[in-house]
Structure 1
Amino acid sequence: MKQAWFKTTLALTIGALSTHSLASGYAINEQSVSSMGTSFAGRSSSAEDATTIFGNPAGMSRLKREQVSAGAAMIYARTDIDDARGSFRGSNDGDMVPLVAAPMGYYVKPIDDKWTFGIGMYVPFGLVTDYESGFQGRYFGDRSEVRVITVQPTISYRFNDQLSVGFGPTINRVDGELTSAALNRATLGTNDGKVKVKGDDTALGYNVGVLYQITAQTRAGLTYHSMVDYKLEGDTEINGSGFGPFNGSKYDASLKLKTPESVDFSVTHELNADWTLYAGSTWTRWSRLEAIVVENEGVPALLASSLSPIREDQNWHDTWAHAIGVAYKLNPQWTLRTGVSVDQSPTNNEDRSPRIPTNDRKAISFGAAWSPSDEVTVDVAYSYLQEDDAKINDVSATKGAYSSTFKNSAHGLGAQLTYRF
């Protein structure tokens, strides 16, 4: 039982690295609703409003007026679990991701013809997964809630009519609360314990971008989002009669985590006064996640040998995402958008678990922008995502076995208001 506790603590921490957002791994794409309408094609080259602070800091040089953009995207995920088998009985209801929202807010102020200042707040990574209490795979994954909130002060400089650059340090706050069932072998899964892990940290990173106007109709953008190095610190709490004298105890816990760097390249081409085309690709260095190592401190000597340290391999790989999109200016007030994207999953068939039940995905998006005046623009967008079947086949000496097939899909709906002073 004691060994199962520590293994479950590790599985909980791995749960911090999964989500059913509209991006791969545990990343979230929804930092801009205006970009969401084209499946984020052209994100680093469009520079249409203040959300370019995230998409490409250099894009602020195209904004000639002081402005604010604010909004949120809601994500509704659905999962069906088929062909489930395991060492212990349980249900497989699926739909373990509740309705969640990703807020965003940006401010841009031109200083002169060369310099522009901005500041943004957004959510680059996050997850919420919550299986039913009797989930058959509960020893490999139960409830997880983790989020990263970023504040980014930014500056851009325009060298000439063609070339601009931008830079912004990022202040990133990560926190999470993760819960999992712990197997009580004396009762064969009928009297489970609970393990809760809480932790947080603040760390620095940066975003840098380049925007180049190739012709009067075409521009290209390149954005680099840096790796951020965290050390989450908090505690591990155990509850349940199966823990014996350790029931209700808390122990210091820590985890080193690096969120991956990414490079986004895109092109925006104004075909004519009405039509604009977008295309882009994003590379993400998910291979940083080779393994999770959890350190627990202050445990009794009787348990210390089981904790030094705990390691579970993940072996994620780098991924590419590609998108194309189009915008049509219906009239001076309305612009319509659509786009499609394909996104690789960083997981592999051998190490995938109910904590990270994702696979390669495809998405289609639709959006609209309404500008009743020169000062105001309202953007709305809808995305539908469908994943390839994700097969789970986990076997553990302390948690038994569980296998199944996850069929995942998600709907995203966003709204954003831009006001120009």
Structure 2
Amino acid sequence: MAIPHTFRASALALGVLGALAFAPAQASGFQLKENSVKGLGSAFAGSGVNPGDASVVVNNPATMTQFEGTTVQADLSVIDLSYRFEGSGTDALGRPLTGGDGGEAGDVTPIPAFSVIHKLDNGLAFGAMVSAPFGLKTEYDHDWQGRYFADTSDVKIVNLTFSAALDVTDRMSVGIGAVYSKADVTLSKAVDFGTLLFSNPATRPLPFALPQARDGHAEIEGDDTGFGWLAGVNLRPTDRLSLGVSYQSEIDYELRGTAEWTVPGDVRTVFNSNPITAQLFQDGGAGAKLTTPSTLAVVARYDFTDRFAMMANWAETGWSSLREVRVEFDRADPDSVEPFEWKDTAFASLGAEYKLNDAWTLRGGVAHDETPTSIEHRTPRLPDANRNWYSIGATWKVSDAMDVDFAFTHLKPKDPKVDITSGGSTITGPYAGDANLFGVSAQYRF
């Protein structure tokens, strides 16, 4: 029995296309902004120029010159993400896809960050920070109706950043940094082998060659390290006005790992009947290239009085770097390609801060965050949409040397929907979802 090359390609398309489409996150695409609890409390308005926030190691290294001595800061943000599918799907014969709505696809995920800054007497400042700028985890029920599009998504990207800054004048400082990054990805989905056999006239007579009759499973794991850079400028035209511009580069990864297939026994027998198709859906090595986007941010802060300040932030994320995902296999399987066609996005926020007394400072902010996706390419792995942020926070000055920060943010996406077909299956409809973010941090100065 011969199975043509086009059938082989469609099999791979159903099995692994979209395997590196990332899980829903709380910022544009799969970006995580949560590297500062103080920043979270004002929807990141002014992030990069706000005084006393050691996350400037990453957000704008030029601001490190505004610190004195040594500052150590530990941040913990917890993301409670809720996503539930409210649509439906059909198979290649137009019949409803079996299974439920997938359950609660979101998860509770902690996002830690740690930073240290040391300022020298000669105007130089140095800093280091560990943070997680991208990634999240979601998981659907294994037998849900969208199982052929997404099952489990687990993405972790951790950066180690080293930065340096210098006062050029009393009103201006500059900073640069180097980034070492580690990416680790595990993603899976169900494979409709019944549809694959039904699509080929040679195997269609088989009793199990029907859509949804023989489900298998595909899982891809991969990791790699990459390097990037960042730079920033901090301007202080007056004692009350601070302006900042910062840029973080793209980082390229060549993910390498394994592809593991679970194939029903009778389906495996069909494939093994031909030496060409016997090579399909065998465990082996796999890889894909990934580029995380660049970010350009312009921020401002104005202290109207010694107690009251307002802040603003505008940032562009270069998601156009993610045009497609091409999975390459070490075995006989041909490459699988999924177009993403993501676009660059803008994030804009406005916040305020009020010093209630010597011990407490209150803050709040709102933001609008664009999605890089479009309905043509949006999948259940990323039912993303434009979203609004609503944030509040506070700083408790425990002593002259120690501060503790608290923050809460509610994110509400605007009508996320999917409408996509792959391998004969179609899934369409809205998602109900939102996210709550909780944060606590401590800073010590000596």
**TM-score normalised to structure 1 length:** 0.94
Percent identity, aligned pairs only, is: 29
1:8 Cα offset (Å): 4.0
- Give the secondary structure class of the aligned counterpart of 2:382: coil
Unaligned runs of 5+ in 2: 1-6, 92-96, 195-208, 273-277
Report the RMSD for the aligned CA atoms in angstroms.
Answer: 1.6
For 1:102-125, what per-residue CA distance to the aligned partner results, in whole angstroms no more than 9, with x for missing partners? 110001111223101111000000
Q: Identify which range, 135-144 or 5-14, moves more after superposition.
A: 5-14
Q: Does 1:365 align with 2:391?
A: yes
1:3 Cα offset (Å): 4.5
1:222 is aligned to 245
- Give the secondary structure class of the aligned counterpart of 1:35: helix
1:52 is aligned to 56
CA distance in 2, matches of 1:325, 1:133: 42
- Give the secondary structure class of the aligned counterpart of 2:17: helix
Contact map agreement 1:266 1:281 (CA 8 A) in 2: yes
CA distance in 1, matches of 2:70, 2:330: 51
For 1:355-406, what per-residue CA distance to the aligned partner results, in whole angstroms no more than 9, with x for missing partners? 111110001001010012111000010000000112211122x241111211
1:4 Cα offset (Å): 5.4
CA distance in 1, matches of 2:288, 2:102: 31
Choose from 5, 12, 15 the match for 1:6: 12
Structure showing greater radius of gyration is 2
- Give the secondary structure class of the aligned counterpart of 1:34: helix
1:167 is aligned to 176
1:18 is aligned to 23
**TM-score normalised to structure 2 length:** 0.89
For 1:83-114, what per-residue CA distance to the aligned partner results, in whole angstroms no more than 9, with x for missing partners? 32322212114421211111100011112231
Letter in 1 for 2:439: G
Contact map agreement 2:346 2:369 (CA 8 A) in 1: yes
Contact map agreement 1:227 1:258 (CA 8 A) in 2: yes
Contact map agreement 1:47 1:56 (CA 8 A) in 2: no
1:274 is aligned to 307
Contact map agreement 1:49 1:63 (CA 8 A) in 2: no
1:128 Cα offset (Å): 0.8
For 1:127-153, what per-residue CA distance to the aligned partner results, in whole angstroms no more than 9, with x for missing partners? 211111111111111111011000001
* Mapping for residues 227-266 of structure 1, pairs under 5 Å: 227-241=250-264, 242-244=267-269, 245=272, 249-266=282-299
Contact map agreement 1:358 1:408 (CA 8 A) in 2: no
CA distance in 2, matches of 1:9, 1:192: 11
CA distance in 2, matches of 1:206, 1:288: 16
Q: Identify which range, 204-213 or 398-407, moves more after superposition.
A: 398-407
CA distance in 1, matches of 2:268, 2:156: 30
CA distance in 2, matches of 1:254, 1:357: 25
The alignment of Structure 1 onto Structure 2 pairs a total of residues equal to 411
Q: Does 1:389 align with 2:415?
A: yes
CA distance in 1, matches of 2:149, 2:112: 30
For 1:204-231, what per-residue CA distance to the aligned partner results, in whole angstroms no more than 9, with x for missing partners? 0011110000111001001101000110
Q: Does 1:30 align with 2:62?
A: no
CA distance in 2, matches of 1:77, 1:166: 35
1:190 Cα offset (Å): 4.4
1:323 is aligned to 349
Q: Does 1:351 align with 2:393?
A: no
* Structure 1 residues 23 and 298: alpha-carbon distance in aligned structure 2, compared to 1, 3 A threshold: same
1:71 Cα offset (Å): 1.8
1:142 is aligned to 151
1:405 is aligned to 430
Contact map agreement 1:4 1:182 (CA 8 A) in 2: no
* Structure 1 residues 109 and 243: alpha-carbon distance in aligned structure 2, compared to 1, 3 A threshold: farther
Unaligned runs of 5+ in 1: none
2:94 is aligned to none
Q: Does 1:205 align with 2:228?
A: yes
CA distance in 2, matches of 1:336, 1:96: 34
* Structure 1 residues 399 and 417: alpha-carbon distance in aligned structure 2, compared to 1, 3 A threshold: farther
CA distance in 1, matches of 2:102, 2:329: 33
CA distance in 2, matches of 1:350, 1:14: 17
Contact map agreement 2:17 2:336 (CA 8 A) in 1: no
- Give the secondary structure class of the aligned counterpart of 2:135: strand
Letter in 2 for 1:18: A
1:5 Cα offset (Å): 4.7
Q: Identify which range, 251-260 or 185-194, moves more after superposition.
A: 185-194
Letter in 2 for 1:387: P
CA distance in 1, matches of 2:184, 2:84: 29
Choose from 151, 154, 161 the match for 2:163: 154
1:191 Cα offset (Å): 3.6
